[in-house]
Structures are given as C-alpha cells and as structure tokens.
Copies of this chain bind each other. A is one copy, B any other.
Amino acid sequence: MNNFEFYCPTKVLFGKGMIARLPELIDRSQKVLMIYGGGSIKKNGVYDQVKKALEGYNLYEFGGIEPNPKYETCMKAVELIKREGIDFLLAVGGGSTLDGTKFIAAAAKYEGGDPYEGLIVRCEEAKDALPLADVITLPATGSEMNNGAVISRIATSEKLPFHSDLVFPRFSIIDPQVTFSLPVRQTINGIVDTFVHVMEQYCTYDVNTPLQDDWALGILRTLISEAPKVLAEPEDYETRANIFWCATCGLNYWISLGAVQDWATHMIGHELTAFYGIDHGQSLAIVLPRLLKNQKVSKSKKLAKLAREVFGVQETVDLKAADKAIENIEEFFNSIGMKTKLSDYEIDPMDAAEKVRERFAARNVAFGEKGAITADTAYEILKNC
C-alpha cells in the first residue's frame, strides 16, 4: 500500500426529507446565493423545497450553469457575488452545477488576475474561497464528497480539472427521491460515470490494497445488480438510494486510498465532450473498453480479478480473464442502453483520433498510472472506438 493522506470534512445528510433541514445548516445572517442549472429543479419540485426551507433568508439566485459548466458562465456568478456581497453558496442541481459552484467559490476570492489562467491552467493553490454546500440531485460525479471540479472554456474548447480543499462542500444533502423523475439517459449516464470512476481508481497495477480493491469491486457489483432495477422501476426508493450512494462512494476516494489511479479514460473522454458535445457518461463508455484493451497486459492482474469477482468468470489465465472482463463491461453498458462506439454518435473515429492526438501533442501529455497514454496512444485507442 502506498502512503496516503485523506481528508473530507463534508457533512452528508442522506435520505427522505433532508432538504427541509437546510435552516439547521446555514446561518440566518448569511447572504445566500442559490446556484442552479437549466431549470430542471423547477420541474421536479426541488427548487420549491429549497425556497420553502430557506424562507426568511436573504436569498439570491443564479441559474443557467450548463452541463460541463462553462468558465464564462461561472464568471457572471462571480460578478453577482461581488456586487451583492454574497456570503454563502448553495448549489442545487447535479454535478455540473456543483462543479461550477466550487470554481465560482474560489474565483470570487481569487486576486491574481484571470481565475481560469491562475487556478486551472497554472494550477495555483487557491488561498481563499467562499463557503459552499449543495443539494445534489444527480447520482454521477461524486462531487458532493470531494474537492474537485471540471470546468470547460468555450473560447478554447478546453475541459480541465480544478482542485482545492477550500471547496469541499460544508454539507451535502442527498435525497434519492429527487431522482425519481430523472430522464433515462441521465440515469444511465450516471451509472456509467460511477462505474468508470471506480475503474479509474481500481484498474491499474497492484500495490497490495486488498480492502480497497474489494470495496471498488463492491461498487461495481452493486451497480450491476441495481441498474436493471432502476430502469424497470424508476420510482423505487431503495434502488435509487443504493445507486446514489454508489455514485457518492465512487468518487469520495474511500476505495482508492493508498492505491494507484489512472484517469486516462476521463482525460480522453473530456476531449470528446469538448470537441463533439457528447455527454460525459457517453464519452467514458466509448473510451473505456478500447483503452482497457490497449493497456490489457499492464492491467491484466486487476482485470482478471474483476472478471472473477464481479462477473463470476472461471478462467484461470489472467490475460484471458482480462479479455472476458472487458467484454463483460461493454455488454453491461450496452445492456442498460448505453452505446459504446463513436459511430453510434455519428462521430468519425479517425477525425476524433487526429483531433485528440493534436491536442495532447501540443500539451505533451502522458496520462495513466504509468504515463503510457500519450498523444499517440490516445490516437490508437480512438481509432478503434
């Protein structure tokens, strides 16, 4: 096991009726800015629940954070915050809204010029941030229990990560009931996103972390058993609760402490979203199987373990079991209605391969747990997608 540090001061309130407890959690003296996305919270009743809970508060609103939150939009919220003297940010929505809010919290206090250049491109450590919290409505990104965000910039077609301990949510409210009305596509995207988060943290090389590995595979086992149930009965509370908790645990790092992480599937997937606008979950479902095939030898021990302990594969030769794992993963994605080929989204693999190679070459990247995913490797992977 590698040395590790772990810290997550977020208070989680999980379950039915938790939104009504907002007044216990936010001081009444604060000027609160409620940040949300495209307005789905107005249709599913979450907006009304939050407004009711915060009656009597000095409450401001900022709507319109996009899926893949845009720097340009975030900066409009920063303007509002400075103009009105906002004290506390409450993200109400999915991972994109929360990611945007995390960046807004740090950007509002950033004093070194352009916050995108400073905090994201140059990766400067944030020195201050507004306090923030969330009512999370989408089981997918795990953003509700971590210190990370992914921000896109229209001007440069970029999608890049941002991290700071200052943007851990003070609290996260997770009421699985708010996901009853999720469109099927978002439900599926969330399941795939969670699945791939786990793969990025588990499927690397072995450094003797049996408990963390068992837990990672536990999330996969649970997703595989719960996914068909949620598609059959979208309003079953227990299934929605289990899927949401898998999503949160998929990226609060409990499964990967002391283990080696990958994240190359995400880095390639981000580029597909940036270039072609496909959903984050879709981009991951396309890249993962081909990346695993490309890196099969290096990842064979973990893939074989996954084949045996998640899919019950009996094969004793690791490399053969690894093949079975990759097949089973793609079959699982397809079985819940997630398409896994670029052509399914009317994207030409050669076009994608060339664009991403050019982008990665310009940045001189080497992603993955062994730095094996260079511009040329990404080209090879995408060609086969």
Q: Which residues of A contact B (CB under 8 A)?
A: 1-18, 208-212, 214-215, 218-219, 221-222, 225-226, 238, 241-242, 245-246, 249, 254, 257-258
Give the residue name and chain of the B residue nearest to A214 (CB): B218
Known: A1-B241, A14-B6, A16-B3. A211 touches B258 (CB 8 A): no
Partner of A11, one of B7, B13, B16: B7
A211 contact set on B, CB distance < 8 A: 218-219, 222, 242, 245-246, 249
Known: A210-B242, A222-B211. A5 touches B13 (CB 8 A): yes
Number of copies: 2
Partner of A258, one of B15, B18, B222, B226: B15
A4 contact set on B, CB distance < 8 A: 12, 14-15
Separation of A8 and B14 alpha carbons in the complex (Å): 15
A238 contact set on B, CB distance < 8 A: 1, 208
A136 CB to closest chain B CB (Å) equals 14
Separation of A249 and B6 alpha carbons in the complex (Å): 13
Separation of A3 and B2 alpha carbons in the complex (Å): 34
- Secondary structure at the A interface, as helix, strand, loop or mixed, is mixed
Separation of A330 and B258 alpha carbons in the complex (Å): 31
Whether the Cβ atoms of B210 and A214 lie closer than 8 Å is no
A3 contact set on B, CB distance < 8 A: 14-18
A203 CB to closest chain B CB (Å) equals 17
A208 contact set on B, CB distance < 8 A: 238, 241-242
A168 CB to closest chain B CB (Å) equals 10
Known: A7-B12, A258-B15. A1 touches B245 (CB 8 A): yes
**What are 24 sample pairs from A and B whose C-beta atoms fall under 8 A apart?**
A1-B238, A2-B15, A3-B14, A3-B16, A4-B14, A4-B15, A5-B12, A5-B14, A7-B10, A9-B9, A14-B258, A208-B238, A208-B241, A209-B242, A210-B221, A210-B222, A211-B218, A211-B219, A211-B222, A211-B245, A212-B245, A215-B215, A215-B218, A245-B258
A16 CB to closest chain B CB (Å) equals 6
The 5 nearest A-B residue pairs measured at CB: A3-B15, A214-B218, A9-B9, A7-B11, A6-B12
Separation of A212 and B11 alpha carbons in the complex (Å): 18
Whether the Cβ atoms of B214 and A221 lie closer than 8 Å is yes
Separation of A220 and B254 alpha carbons in the complex (Å): 17
A15 contact set on B, CB distance < 8 A: 1-4, 258
Separation of A208 and B9 alpha carbons in the complex (Å): 27
A249 contact set on B, CB distance < 8 A: 211
Whether the Cβ atoms of B218 and A14 lie closer than 8 Å is no
Given contacts A1-B242, A211-B249, A214-B218, 15 further A-B contacts (CB under 8 A): A1-B14, A1-B245, A3-B14, A3-B17, A4-B12, A4-B15, A5-B11, A5-B14, A6-B11, A6-B12, A6-B14, A7-B9, A12-B257, A212-B245, A245-B258
